Amino acid sequence: SRPSVTTDGPGSTTKLCVGQPSINMYFYTYVLKSKKDNKLYIGSSGDIKTRLKAHNAGEVESTKSRRPLELIYFEACTSKKKAEDRELYFKTGFGRKFLKNRL
């Protein structure tokens, strides 16, 4: 397994899960924050922009009543499996602690 590369830019935090890249295709693990209840939602997707729009349009059942949502963190991974594994990690106690310290 190769190390991850972390990149922090103004106003955003991203992490690249380095591995075997599929032709310029990334999959994302993301964290949304509800502006209604200030709680977090963790998910993964191959198209983060479209997925965020779906969340805010009420098309995602689990966040429908918690809109509006803002993207506060994401990681780009080189495979769907890596993104899904990272999503599952963030949903554990250790993963939530990581996010709390990171955000």
| pLDDT higher than 80, residue 30 | yes
Q: Which two tokens stand for residue 53?
A: 């729009």
| pLDDT higher than 90, residue 35 | yes
Residue-level pLDDT at 46: 96
Rounded to an integer, the average pLDDT of 51-69 is 97
Element (H, E) at 56: helix 48-56
**pTM of the complete model:** 0.78
Percentage of the chain exceeding pLDDT 70? 77
Strand partners, 33: 40, 70
Work out the pLDDT band at 18, boundaries 50, 70, 90.
low
Work out the pLDDT band at 50, boundaries 50, 70, 90.
very high
Query: What is the identity of the amino acid at 63?
Result: T
Residue-level pLDDT at 55: 98
Assess contact for 6 and 74: CB atoms under 8 A.
no
Residue-level pLDDT at 17: 67
